[in-house]
Chains A and B, each alone.
Chain A
Amino acid sequence: MKRDLDRRGFLKIAGASMGVGALYTAWPGLGSAEGGEVARRLGLSNGEKPTPFTFAQLSDAHVGFDGPIGTSALEKAVENINGMPQTPDLVLFTGDLTHDTEKPGEHAARMNLFKDISGRLKVAKVYHVPGEHDAGLDGGELFRNVFGPTYYSFDHRGVHFVALDNVSRARPEVGTEQRAWLAKDLARFPKTAPLVVFTHRPLFDLRPDWEWFTSDGDEVMNLLAPYENVTVLYGHIHREDHHAIGHSQHYAARSLSFAFPDPDKVEEKKPIPFDKDQPFKNLGLRVVSQTPGRAAGVDSVTVKEVELAMNEYSGTEGFNQLLKPATF
């Protein structure tokens, strides 16, 4: 199923013929003089002109997890991205790159295997945040050794990306130090700046008794609340989800390992049983892109979830936070 959403503004989510994850295309500065000014300022900060671009989100590969598909979904995701007609500028991994183990040396081996496979991506930049299975037992030490800081930010073609770590403190929280950093990081931006936050756990109470929450998520969202164009991408829940908080839109990606059921329909958090006839069922990749609208200030937005098993689009909600017109 495919939904085409007419949205105003900035980021368009569109499908591509992929096998895994999520692909996004941004069109910074679209729709108004103010929006153009925001994009111009952001572009000046890193020397890049604000121009349309595409990025992808992958999540929850759980390399090392004792499941029937091993790393094949991750490998398929890499192949699909590399085979896209338009290569994404960025790939964002939203945590649980690996499955934890306490066997000496094994977790590092899993992290390196993940790095080897994801290293085949033919994209310019790949960014990661840890999941609790990557960083919950060692406070993120292994992750930092392999990938660097667990939280950071960067600008790309007029969009400000923020990587948040809500796992390394072992419990689901961002913590005071990182929240202070976030407040400082955001301070230089006007309220209309397009922001993409990517993290592992949901920043809201999706299902707290399944540990689908971040304990100080409200405080994080209070910092983001003044900003009008906020997209939060996350993983952890191994299924699609869309949730709106004020101006912000929150989207969960499918996993590359196993799927969880709809928390509104079942009481127990147990993976959806493996179907040997459809080994990649419920696993997938979100493909998101944006192209300029035909009418001034109006973009058509399409979001297409790709299920690995079907290699066709299944339905999802779309981004719209970056699609808002600038409203200084």
Chain B
Amino acid sequence: MARNGIFHVAGGALAVVAGLLATSSPRARAEEGPRVIVITAKRFEFSPKEITLKKGETVRLQLKSEDVTHGFFLRPLGIDTDIPAGQTAEVTVTPQEVGRYRAICDHFCGAGHGGMKMTIVVEEATGSAGGK
């Protein structure tokens, strides 16, 4: 269920798309749309554990659950969505503030739920971008 921001359910091997976009030129990227980063969620971790975004850059986060329903919550970036069990949710963000942020699962998913988190780093627009 959508809670905030853009959301839709979309399957598919999006990691490949993200990899291609990460190596494309800025002009090509603009023509192809926002960069896509795939994040998988399974009890009780996100993968990757850290991604880096550019301030002012619009990015599509593809959030893929590999087991139960999870949440993806990061108030400073306005992210608050569920990731339905076994499905993929999408959130589009355009961070405006440089910083190091912690995203958490906010849909209770079991005994290790309290430690399910990842880091989103937002850098100034200069320099390279991409997931780590």
Whether, in the assembled complex, B107 has its beta carbon less than 8 Å from a beta carbon of chain A, the answer is: yes
Inter-chain contacts of A215 with B (CB < 8 A) = 3, 80, 106
> Would you call B107 and A170 a contact (CB within 8 A)?
yes
> Would you call A170 and B75 a contact (CB within 8 A)?
no
**A205-B75, A209-B102, A211-B104 known; A102+B110 contact, CB < 8 A:** yes
Which residues of chain A from 129 to 175 have a CB within 8 Å of any chain B CB?
A: 132, 136-137, 167, 170-172
Give bound CA distance, A205 to B107, whole Å.
17
Give bound CA distance, A248 to B92, whole Å.
36
> Would you call A171 and B111 a contact (CB within 8 A)?
no
Whether, in the assembled complex, B114 has its beta carbon less than 8 Å from a beta carbon of chain A, the answer is: yes
Whether, in the assembled complex, A100 has its beta carbon less than 8 Å from a beta carbon of chain B, the answer is: yes
Give bound CA distance, A171 to B82, whole Å.
9
> Would you call B110 and A100 a contact (CB within 8 A)?
yes
Give bound CA distance, A99 to B82, whole Å.
23
A66 to chain B: closest residue by CB: B111
Q: Which of A99, A102, A137 contacts B108 (CB 8 A)?
A: A137
Whether, in the assembled complex, A242 has its beta carbon less than 8 Å from a beta carbon of chain B, the answer is: no
> Would you call B107 and A171 a contact (CB within 8 A)?
yes
Whether, in the assembled complex, A17 has its beta carbon less than 8 Å from a beta carbon of chain B, the answer is: no
Whether, in the assembled complex, B73 has its beta carbon less than 8 Å from a beta carbon of chain A, the answer is: yes
Inter-chain contacts of B69 with A (CB < 8 A) = 170
From B106, B107, B108, B113, residue with most partner A Cβ within 10 Å? B108
Which residues of chain B from 83 to 132 have a CB within 8 Å of any chain A CB?
A: 101-104, 106-108, 110-111, 113-115, 117
Whether, in the assembled complex, A120 has its beta carbon less than 8 Å from a beta carbon of chain B, the answer is: no
> Would you call B71 and A171 a contact (CB within 8 A)?
yes
Give bound CA distance, A100 to B44, whole Å.
15
Q: How large is the interface on A (under 10, 10 to 19, 20 to 34, 35 or more residues)?
A: 10 to 19
Give bound CA distance, A252 to B104, whole Å.
22
A101 to chain B: closest residue by CB: B111
> Would you call A171 and B106 a contact (CB within 8 A)?
yes
Inter-chain contacts of B114 with A (CB < 8 A) = 211, 269
From B80, B104, B114, B115, residue with most partner A Cβ within 10 Å? B114
> Would you call B108 and A132 a contact (CB within 8 A)?
yes
Give bound CA distance, A211 to B113, whole Å.
10
Inter-chain contacts of B82 with A (CB < 8 A) = 171
Give bound CA distance, A77 to B75, whole Å.
37
Inter-chain contacts of A99 with B (CB < 8 A) = 111
Which residues of chain B from 29 to 62 have a CB within 8 Å of any chain A CB?
A: none
Inter-chain contacts of B80 with A (CB < 8 A) = 215
Whether, in the assembled complex, A208 has its beta carbon less than 8 Å from a beta carbon of chain B, the answer is: yes
Chain A window 186-213, contacts with chain B (Cβ cutoff 8 Å), 1 for yes, 0 for no: 0000000000000000000100111100
Inter-chain contacts of A167 with B (CB < 8 A) = 108
Which residues of chain A from 67 to 104 have a CB within 8 Å of any chain B CB?
A: 99-102
Inter-chain contacts of A210 with B (CB < 8 A) = 104
**A171-B82, A215-B80, A269-B114 known; A209+B108 contact, CB < 8 A:** no
Q: List 21 A-B contacts (CB under 8 A).
A: A100-B110, A100-B111, A102-B110, A102-B111, A132-B113, A136-B108, A136-B113, A137-B108, A137-B110, A170-B69, A170-B108, A171-B108, A208-B73, A209-B74, A209-B75, A209-B101, A209-B102, A209-B103, A210-B104, A211-B104, A269-B114
Lowest 8 CB-CB distances: which A-B pairs, in order?
Answer: A136-B108, A209-B102, A132-B108, A170-B108, A208-B75, A171-B107, A170-B107, A171-B106
Point out residues on B near A: beta carbons under 8 Å. 3, 69, 71, 73-75, 80, 82, 101-104, 106-108, 110-111, 113-115, 117
